[in-house]
Amino acid sequence: MTLGRTYLFKPLNEWIIPLRYAVRDQAGEVVAVMTTGISLDGENNPWKIDGLPESVYINIIKDANAAGEYYPQFIHPLIMYGRDKEQTYDDPASQELVEHVVEHIEAAAGVDLDAFTQSGKAVYFNLKMPGVGQVYGTQGYNSDLKLFTAVRRSLLSMRDEFVAVFIWYFIVFTLFNVMLVVFRYINNLQREAKQQLEFQANHDQLTELPNRYYLKKKFPEWRKRWGNAYALLYLDLDNFKLINDHYGHSVGDWALVELAKRLKESCSEETMLVRHGGDEFIMLMPFSDKSVLQHEIQRITYRLKEVIHVNALEFALSGSVGVGVACPEEHENSLEGVLIKADLAMYEAKKVRNSYVFFTEEMQQLSDERAVIEEALHGALNNRQLFMVYQPQIDAESGCVVGVEALIRWQHPVLGFVPPDKFIAVAEASGQINPIGDFVIDTALKEIATIQAGFDPIRLSINVSVQQLVNEGFRARLKEKAAEYDINPTNLVIEITESLFIEDFEQIESLLVLIRNDGFGISLDDFGTGYSSLSVLRSLPINEVKVDQSFVRHILTDEHDRALIQSIIGIGQSLKIPTLAEGVEELEHARSLRGFGCNLFQGYYFARPMDIDALKEYLTAFKAYEL
């Protein structure tokens, strides 16, 4: 609220004290102005100026403006200064009046004018004035409206008119102060609303932690205080989506609040903790030594893994942490640059889960490579750059071909041959895996259908990602395509990897049961390299386990790998699940594996992946292997 200078309102020919109040929206922008005024001349005005006796002296002076001028807001009686209203209110207060007011204030308060205005207190005085006698009064300063106020009256006049006049003056003074209190209250409400809006803009509503906007705004101030050598920790909770999916968002929200509380308690004074969004948090802390930082990360993640209790539920959370470090000697150590580093490192940590990874330049190179691949991959299907090849699978007892694995390949006109381990992960991350997966199923079934006319039926194995598997309609499309190309479901196997089970295990398991009930086979690929446990393996509806080639490669020279393979094959035998060994490149590999009880082989010793025409020639000329 602002108080304007007293002026003559010509339409009513009245002298007015204007009051203005700005109404603001949530963004703090002025959308309207409320204006009112106190008339000095109106008949119904509570001031009743004409009814004030001349023995009462009222001075309301507006504080100095930029030019150092003081303007009277209200003076009574005017005759005391020998001036009319135009001279009094249109012109700055005379030097005589200013000095008069200042003199009385300093005398009554016992301090200079600046100290008095800052104190916010009113002072009371009594003094002798020539020709008037003993005078009593009060003086004050309103910092919100920047007004000096003084009211005084002679003792003699008060004796004469004590009851009637004093009460009226008290009412007048009270009304004015009530108005000041009301407007001050409005100002306080506005100030509190502004503070609340500012807090909401800079903090997360759920956890009340600072948000990304706060991080960007306060980072320069933080760096100025703590230095240019700093570390940024990018924390992403592992499998937090499962809590929301299984127990509802209210439980998930409660867990996030508890987690935020723990993180806040774990962070030191100099650490800035931010909720970056969803189940992601950022911690900004000074950096001096890598080993010290590692200890700090381990301490925080250890606290993170403590059990969270929500009603009768218990959760043990974990997180993947990417670490980006900015050093003063580095050219690029901006917040955005270090955040990108931490994000890339977190991407690597998510592959393992419950771990932390420091950024390396190799990660940046891989990120740049992924970006190039992602852009090129968008046109790969339409430009017919993707095609299928097939690698035979051999029965360990008969040495005959019993099936093939369908493998996708990509030949780009500029990038050349792009291996699957380079572009499949990019396709999953960029949301392109479903159309590519549909292409694999349609093409592989169509091409294998051409073999059935001249050869005995062989089984076809197709790799399926978790995004394909949980995509609505996947099971129906699989059945539809098998029927379209007259492929018996018993001759179609979908291969899944152990990484599927870091997602919603119960959902994955139920989907696999339905697919198995449809007659399709299910093979667990790369067993032993990921997340499976014996209890998981026992409960899954799978009918084949594939031994990863990394175990097979050194079977002849490494006793440890040989023992692992024997254990995996033994597990399969105990659960009556056949095993298939990948990466068989020598005859001795096959013979050793068969001796362990392995059922099927796949590898370069038997055949490299080949297109459909080469596969037909291979099958035509095929003779059983002697193993």
CATH number where 434 lies: 3.20.20.450
Q: What is the pLDDT of residue 189?
A: 79
Alpha helices in 487-545 (DSSP H): 505-517, 534-539
The reply to whether 349 falls in a domain is: yes
Whether 529 and 604 share a structural domain: yes
Whether 385 and 349 share a structural domain: no
Whether 346 and 417 share a structural domain: no
Whether 193 and 217 share a structural domain: no
Instruction: Report the distance separating Cα 91 and Cα 399, nearest Å.
Output: 114
Positive or negative, the CA dihedral 80, 84, 86, 87 is negative
The reply to whether 207 falls in a domain is: no
Q: What is the pLDDT of residue 504?
A: 64
The reply to whether 625 falls in a domain is: no
Q: What is the pLDDT of residue 432?
A: 92
Q: Which of 261, 230, 259 is nearest to 323 (CA)?
A: 230
The reply to whether 370 falls in a domain is: no
Q: Which of 535, 543, 581, 585 is nearest to 562 (CA)?
A: 581
Q: What is the pLDDT of residue 332?
A: 56
Domain housing 550: 379-620
Q: What is the pLDDT of residue 444?
A: 97
The reply to whether 372 falls in a domain is: no
The reply to whether 369 falls in a domain is: no
Dump strand ranges (E) for 203-307.
Answer: 230-237, 272-277, 280-286
Task: Give average pLDDT by consecutive 10-residue segment, the chain, 627 residues.
Answer: 79 81 78 80 59 71 75 74 72 77 77 81 76 78 80 74 66 75 78 81 89 91 87 91 82 90 90 91 91 90 85 84 82 80 91 89 88 92 95 95 96 94 90 94 95 86 91 93 95 85 72 94 79 66 90 89 90 92 94 95 96 94 87
β partners of residue 231: 285, 325
Q: Are 222 and 284 within 8 A, CB to CB?
A: yes
Whether 326 and 391 share a structural domain: no
Whether 425 and 539 share a structural domain: yes
Whether 241 and 132 share a structural domain: no
Question: Of 170, 197, 224, which marks where a domain is finished?
Answer: 197
Whether 612 and 578 share a structural domain: yes
Domain count, the chain: 3
Whether 396 and 544 share a structural domain: yes
Pairing of strands 133-142, 123-129: antiparallel
Whether 108 and 235 share a structural domain: no
CB atoms within 10 A of CB 248: 11
Whether 490 and 611 share a structural domain: yes
Domain of 344: which CATH number?
Answer: 3.30.70.270
Whether 218 and 324 share a structural domain: yes
Q: What is the pLDDT of residue 163?
A: 60
β partners of residue 610: 390
Q: Which of 538, 460, 473, 459 is nearest to 511 (CA)?
A: 473
Q: Are 260 and 278 within 8 A, CB to CB?
A: no
The reply to whether 269 falls in a domain is: yes
pTM over 0.75: no
The reply to whether 160 falls in a domain is: yes
CA distances from 184 to 145, 348, 434 (A): 9, 57, 63
